[in-house]
Amino acid sequence: MNLLFLPSIYSVTVLILFLCPQCVFSKLRIYDLDITRGQIDPDCSGVLSDVLMVNGQYPAPPLYATVNDEIRITVHNSMASNAPTTIHYHGILQIGTTESDGVPNVTQAPINPGEGFEQRFTLTNQSGTYYYHAHVDLQDDVIQGPFIIFPSENDWPMSSKEKLSDGRHQYDDERIIQLSEWWYQAPVDRQNYYLGTEYKGFIAADNYLVNGHGMAREPQGAICPGLTVLDVTPGKTYRFRVIGALTFSTVGYSIAEHKMTIIEVDGDLIEPYESDYLEISPGQRFSFLLKTDKHLNGSYNMDIRPFWITNTTGHGRAILSYDAISNSESSIFPLRTTMKPASDLTIPNFPSEKSQWAYPNMVPLNHVDGYDFAASPDRTIIILPEEKMTRTNTTRWLVNGHQMEHWSVPLLEQLRRRKLKRSNDTVLHLNRQGEWDGYDTFTKTYPMKYGEVIDFVIHTTTLINDGICAAHPWHSHGVKHFPIAYGNGKYNHNHDKNIRNYPHPIARDTTLVYPDQGRYNTSMVPCGWTKLRIFAVNPGLWAFHCHITGHMLQGMMIIMEMAPERITYLRT
């Protein structure tokens, strides 16, 4: 495929670096992340929980950078217990640096207590809203923090510039909203339940937090910080960056008496799209513009409601407060709290869940020039995850009948030792002929040739215990994917291959595979599919998995082995 037809994040970068290397200005930014333990009660429930922290903080501190910056991060595991960890930078493409992607036993060995690990990468032509989180066990419940990449040095909110801009969008200031879930059960007990013989289905969160704070239905304790407050000044336009640092639930998010104009999805800008609410799945990020057209000293509820699940009593809330404040770095990621209810008692209304939400109506700001998404791919890989009971009476997810491999030596290091220089051509040929699913039984990966255009058709299937068709947010490491089609039931390639019901595909890294609206009485029945197109132009080993962390731990993950002969790390 011609380089000029590849997504601009790759082709434009290559062209600029080749023609004018001195034109790309960047800085070296060095960070240290120290993983320790502490105790918190973030929703005033009276339950003091032992949690992991980053640099003594929960949520983890925000990281800021500018497009094309070079990043050097050292992760220190200072936990007293025998718990390894890794850090993944969610949505960062790691162009040429697959070894810094942070996936345990795939791209690196887990970092043991007392050890450190340095990750180096460049933010090649990337700006937008991202975050970082742990990628071991259920640690991403709490090891999570914003990673914001600004389009220029002049567009940092801390700059003296009167108006900030990103693409054609202009605004006065910005705020970060990090949504997360909170369980009272200890993570180790919950993980043992997910992976053990007593598993009967997922446990919904007890509560939902905004920037690390929430409020139990019956608050306990003499000292209760209360709800997070986002201060704004009347008469301004704000960019709100919303991070779905969730690990189980898809949620709705809305602000009473306010509309939001969505301008960014998963780090990529879109044409302005007005909505009353956001639908946010684990791993997804959005930016929206908010006009502060209410009166000074007014305050409004910002509410979270779980979608696509019924067995939950959890809720989430923060307060939008109109005040006369100055621009400061501390206000970008607000941690101020209050016990006072909003002065406006209006409760945001949420509609019923809607398959595909607003995505088919969204239009990217920067189109993939010259590329027709109606064109056929080089190959189609059909992904059918199934929840199965194992011989040991535990529950695991198999993908196309394959169980997720747990390597004792990181796969990247194994390939380096074997000096593997090419993909399995037989597997690729059989997949092109529709005679095999594309899985290499030797490497336990899905191999890809450089430059291939591949459609992944990802199904959701009904669950063992209740026959419910569940939604799954799939996250691709190392490459963006473009949702181009969806349908009910099971995908039939001859019948469905030309369906294109996403008229304007947007570059994503996390896409929710929606369930059919109907009810099923049988387990393991395909009940909905989404087709995602990827361009295999970033050599590396890239995880592709459900971002419901428990499902990933149960096996809903594959590894894309992309052009191993071009992986820089394997050449050293």
Asked whether the beta carbons of 136 and 84 are under 8 A apart, the reply is yes
Number of other CB atoms surrounding residue 232 within 10 Å: 24
Whole-number pLDDT of residue 42? 95
Determine the distance from the C-alpha atom of residue 147 to the mean position of all C-alpha atoms in its chain, rounded to a whole number.
Answer: 12
Query: Does 100 lie in the same domain as 55?
Result: yes
- 302 lies in the same domain as 233: yes
Given 350, 380, 401, the domain boundary residue is 350
Tell me, yes or no, whether 363 lies in a domain: no
CA distances from 101 to 95, 111, 408 (A): 10, 13, 18
Residue 386 shares a structural domain with residue 296: no
> What's the full length of the chain, in residues?
572
In this prediction, residue 220 carries a pLDDT of: 81
Q: Domain check: are 160 and 200 in the same one?
A: yes
Rounded Cα distance, 148 and 274, in Å:
23
Q: Which tokens is 438 given? A: 């594309």
- Residue 367, domain member (yes or no): no
Closest by Cα among 194, 200, 365, 191 to 273: 365
H or E stretch covering 16: helix 8-19
In a domain, 355, yes or no: no
User: What pLDDT is recorded for position 557?
Assistant: 98
| 15 domain residue, yes or no | yes
Q: Is residue 567 situated within a structural domain?
A: yes
> What would the two tokens of residue 405 be?
């491999």
d(Cα 54, Cα 61) in Å, to the nearest integer?
7
Cis ω for the linkage preceding 219 (within 30 of 0): no
Co-location of 148 and 191 in the same domain: yes
Report if residue 175 sits inside a domain: yes
What's the total number of domains in the chain?
Answer: 2
380 and 316 within one domain: no
Q: What is the DSSP string of 420-470?
A: --S--HHHHHHHHTTSS-S-BTTTTBEEE-TT-EEEEEEEEEB-TTT--B-
Task: Report the SS3 class of residue 108.
Answer: strand
Distance separating alpha carbons of residues 436 and 454, to the nearest angstrom: 14
Residue 123 sits in a domain whose CATH number is 2.60.40.420
Distance between CA atoms of residues 550 and 473, nearest Å? 12
C-alpha count within 13 angstroms, C-beta hemisphere, residue 469: 21
Provide the pLDDT for residue 521: 60
pLDDT at 21: 39
Assess whether 314 and 344 both reside in one domain.
Answer: yes
Q: 477 is in which domain, residue-wise? A: 372-571
Residues 167 and 252 in one domain: yes
Q: Are residues 186 and 330 in the same domain?
A: yes
DSSP bridge pairs for 510: 475
Flag whether 426 is in a domain: yes
> What are the DSSP E strand ranges found in 126-246?
128-134, 144-150, 164-166, 169-171, 173-182, 207-210, 227-232, 237-244
Last residue of a domain, one of 297, 317, 350: 350
Phi-psi region of 299 (alpha: psi -120 to 50; beta: other; left: phi over 0): beta
C-alpha separations of 275 from 1, 252, 366 in Å: 37, 12, 21
| Shared domain check, 320 and 381 | no
The kind and range of the H/E element at 265 are strand 260-265
**Are 535 and 479 contacting, i.e. CB atoms less than 8 angstroms apart?**
yes
Q: For the chain of 572 residues, list the mean pLDDT of each consecutive stretch of 10.
A: 37 38 71 97 92 97 97 95 95 98 98 97 98 98 98 85 90 96 95 96 93 89 86 94 97 95 98 97 98 87 89 83 66 89 89 92 87 95 96 96 94 84 81 91 94 97 85 98 96 96 96 80 81 98 98 98 93 78
Q: What is the reported pTM?
A: 0.93
Distance between CA 95 and CA 125 in Å, rounded?
10
Specify whether the CB–CB gap between 246 and 282 falls below 8 A.
yes
Q: Is the dihedral of CA 546, 454, 524, 360 positive or negative?
A: positive
> Rounded CA gap, 60 and 51, in Å?
12
Whether 361 maps to a domain, the answer reads no
- In this structure, the answer to whether residues 345 and 398 fall within a common structural domain is no
User: Is 163 found in the same domain as 235?
Assistant: yes
| pLDDT score, position 4 | 32
What is the distance in angstroms between the CA of the first residue and the CA of the last residue of the chain? 28
CA distance 344 to 133: 35
What is the Cβ-side half-sphere exposure of residue 561, based on CA atoms within 13 angstroms? 26
How far apart are the C-alpha atoms of 477 and 104, rounded to whole Å? Answer: 13
Residue 18, phi then psi, degrees to nearest 5: -75, -45
* Domain boundary residue, one of 350, 385, 420: 350
